[in-house]
Structure 1
Amino acid sequence: MNATATRAGRWTATDVPDQAGRVAVITGANTGIGYEAAKVLAARGATVVLACRNPERADDALARLATAVPGARAEFLRLDLSSLASIRDAAAELRERHPEIDLLVNNAGVMWTPRSLTADGFELQFGTNHLGHFAFTGLVLDRLLPVVGSRVVTISSMGHRSGRIDFDDLQSERAYGRHRAYGASKLANLMFTYELQRRLDVAGANTAAVAAHPGGAGTELVRNSPPLIRFLYPLFEPLVTQSAERGALPTLRAATDPFARGGEYYGPDGIGEVKGFPKRVGSHSRSHDKLAQRRLWQESLQLTGVTFPV
């Protein structure tokens, strides 16, 4: 580790420790911060599993990765987080390939989509961003538990601050707002992380649950925004976004910093957490509501039919 960079608060990809012999599974790793994180982990020696929905885009990502990191150990795992059947199939295949997993990075997501449903009838943003990752984590967690230093890193967003969990309308059937639904899904990501860590602590597990957010990263998520925002976005992009490469740093720190601890949350250190180098940050008080965390956990168990080994 580059101790000088860490002391200065400018934690960068050069601070990622050696990852040789480790297996890192990253959802949505064919583009954006997921791909950038996979690239760094592969360069440090990890076997990276790109868990993606689209095989063609995954093939392109694998080709780019091979060029960027000659000799990279990288695999594709077909995973559609909007389908519980796909999640179960992917988890079964991953379990066959890898008896042990060191890192699970729950990165994939959708943002600001018009109201639509997953294959199982869940509102798309809540179903994909939260329930999909909840189910996938539950189905593969036993592959992480025996591994000392293993981590589940779930990517949230600054948007979680506007999120509220309406337990009487989890699927936004009564009223739907694309920004509100996105915020709720990102709040759920944090509540899931904190509740998972509590359960890991009770079990005395080797695994830690950590969360991160990229700030304003230049990724493809804006493609689902309303037409006016898409039109104006190029004008404001330099002010409110940083590169996907920089946006991946909080993920990488949460996943690999030896000093990171379960239940922590990492994001950029700049004004408003929009840009900067990764540091530990705080989350909205709603994310720390323990009763709501446990209720969300129970609701998620019932909706997905997935059980956890902790």
Structure 2
Amino acid sequence: MPDRIALVTGATSGIGTETALGLARAGFRVGLVGRDPERTRATAARIRATVPGAQADGFVADLSVQAEIRRLAAEIRERYPRLDVLVNNAGAIFDRYGATADGIERTWALDHLAYMHLSLELLDLLRAAAPARIVNVASAAHRRGRIAFDDLGHAANYSPIAVYSQAKLGNVLFSAALARRLAGTGITSNALHPGVIASGFASGNGGWFGLGWRVIRPFLAKPDDGAATSIHLATSPTVEGVTGRYFDARRPVEPSARGRDVDLQERVWAMSLEQLGRQDIAR
């Protein structure tokens, strides 16, 4: 067993794959979470072939479904005695409204609630490895986000950008609220903007939205550039003990005013716990 173990969600393409490769090169045993079994196996094999001596394990789950996250966490606990780094990276943007098996709008479920749910499920492994790090891939899109408490799924007036920005704001709020609760445990929680990257996160959409993404994608930054800040937060000694911050281009920057709002952080934390059917953790 290597000295350090990391888990990366959304690891079968784009930023997630590059993050997993970077962590393998840094000497971590990497767990890769993907939705498609064949792509997950292929990505693990690619990492083992690319990085001499690398250990890469595949885990399959649909992170928009709460029962799948609970099952995944149980499998990870069976495989690993501890977890040094958790990179919550999986996410997508959808061109039309859809609800998950839990009855929750799928962008909020996948891009926000899954981060919170998996982090809480794996806290015991992170505590076993402390000092440990939770890295949440948010976005500068959080700056235009607002939490629509009266219509969280925007079912009445759906907008892909609005629900995506709301979920990314959720990431920033969650990271800060979790950091307060983990103070003194040796586990840090930080969020980041990866840049505007030519990833596949919008590739499943059709219509004008999907076409627009395909048109601009060749002009965007490469996935390895997008992974740089995630890898920095997971590995750099310069951020040891740094928690509750938001990073862009490997530097701490201030998030939006809403992202810094402690009352909003606590309100969204409480609402998210209710959606997950979970109790709060001790501060």
How does the TM-score come out when normalised to structure 1?
A: 0.85
Counterpart AA for 1:140: L
| 1:281 aligned to which of 243, 253, 265 | 253
Match of 2:265 in 1: 293
Does residue 278 of structure 2 align to residue 263 of structure 1?
no
Q: Which residue of 1 aligns with 2:125?
A: 143
Matched, 1:24 2:3: no
Q: Secondary structure at the match of 2:87?
A: strand
Q: Does 1:219 align with 2:219?
A: no
Partner of 2:52: 70
Match of 1:247 among 221, 226, 234: 226
* Contact preservation (8 Å) 2:29, 2:56: yes
Query: Relative to 1, partners in 2 of residues 1:173 and 1:156: Cα closer, same or farther, differing over 3 Å?
Result: same
Query: Which position in structure 2 is the counterpart of 1:14?
Result: none
Cα distance in 2, alignment partners of residues 266 and 230 from structure 1: 28
- What is the aligned partner in structure 1 of residue 21 from structure 2? 39
State the alpha-carbon separation in 2 of the partners of residues 256 and 98 from structure 1.
19
Q: 1:255 to 1:308 in 2, by over 3 A?
A: farther
Check if 1:207 corresponds to 2:153.
Answer: no
Are the counterparts in 2 of residues 141 and 309 from structure 1 also a CA contact under 8 Å?
Answer: no
The match for 1:275 is: none
The answer (yes or no) to whether the contact 2:81–2:128 under 8 Å persists in 1 is no
The letter of the residue matching 1:223 is S
SS in structure 2 at match of 1:242: coil
1:210 is paired with a residue whose SS is: strand
Residue type of the partner of 1:280?
A: P
What does residue 53 of structure 1 align with? 35
1:230 and 1:71 mapped to 2: Cα distance? 39
Structure 1 residue 90: deviation in Å? 0.5
Q: CA deviation at 1:225?
A: 5.2
- The answer for the alignment partner of 2:145 in structure 1 is 163
User: Matches of 1:226 and 1:280 in 2, distance apart?
Assistant: 36
- Note the C-alpha offset of 1:79: 2.0
Which amino acid in the other structure matches residue 244 of structure 2?
Answer: G
Could you tell me the percent identity over the aligned residues? 36
Q: Deviations over 1:266-295 (max 9, x none)?
A: 223xxxxxxxxx322221111111111111
Residues 124-167 of structure 1 deviation map (CA, whole Å, 9 limit, x = unaligned): 00011111221111111121124232011111011111110012
- Pick from 78, 88, 107 the counterpart of residue 96 of structure 1: 78
Provide the secondary structure at the position in 2 that maps to 1:171: coil
Q: Distance in 2 between matches of 1:120 and 1:233?
A: 29
Q: Which residue identity does 1:137 align to in structure 2?
A: S
Contact 2:190/2:243, CA 8 A, preserved across alignment: yes
Question: TM-score by structure 2 length?
Answer: 0.93
C-alpha separation in 1, matches of 2:205 and 2:35:
21
Against the structure 1 CA distance between its residues 236 and 131, is the aligned structure 2 distance closer, same or farther, given a 3 Å change threshold?
A: closer
Cα pair distance change 1:174/1:62, threshold 3 Å: same
Measured in 1, the distance between the counterparts of 2:74 and 2:164 equals 29
Whether the aligned pair in 2 keeps the contact of 1:118 and 1:128 (CA below 8 Å) is no
For residues 164 and 37 of structure 1, the distance between their equivalents in structure 2, rounded to whole angstroms, comes to 29
- Structure 1 residue runs of 5 or longer lacking an equivalent are 1-19, 269-277
Structure 1 217/169 Cα, relative in aligned 2: closer, same or farther at 3 Å?
A: same
1:100-139 alignment runs, 5 A limit = 100-139=82-121
Give the 3-state SS of the residue equivalent to 2:75 in structure 1. Answer: helix
Counterpart CA distance in 1 for 2:146 and 2:206 is: 21
8 Å contact 1:113–1:125 — kept in the other structure? no
User: Which stretches in structure 2 are left out of the alignment for 5+ residues?
Assistant: none
Find the aligned partners of 2:89 and 2:187 in 1 and give their Cα distance: 18
Counterpart secondary structure, 1:145: helix
Q: Partners in 2 of 1:284 and 1:183 — Cα distance?
A: 12
- Alpha-carbon contact 2:203-2:213 (below 8 Å) kept: no
**d(CA) in 1 for partners of 2:238, 2:147:** 31
CA pair 229-123 structure 1, distance change in 2 beyond 3 A: closer
Q: Secondary structure at the match of 2:32?
A: strand
What is the CA–CA distance in structure 2 between the aligned matches of 1:139 and 1:36, rounded to whole Å? 25
8 A Cα contact 1:139 1:308, kept in partner:
no
Instruction: Give the C-alpha shift of residue 236 in structure 1.
Output: 4.0
Partner Cα distance (1:237, 1:76) in 2: 28
Q: Secondary structure at the match of 2:92?
A: coil
Over the aligned positions, Cα root-mean-square deviation in angstroms equals 1.8
Secondary structure at 1:222's aligned position in 2? coil
- What whole-Å deviation, never above 9, does each CA across 1:170-213 have from its counterpart, x for those lacking one? 23233321110000000000000000011112xx2110001112
Alignment CA distance shift 1:83-1:236 (3 Å): closer
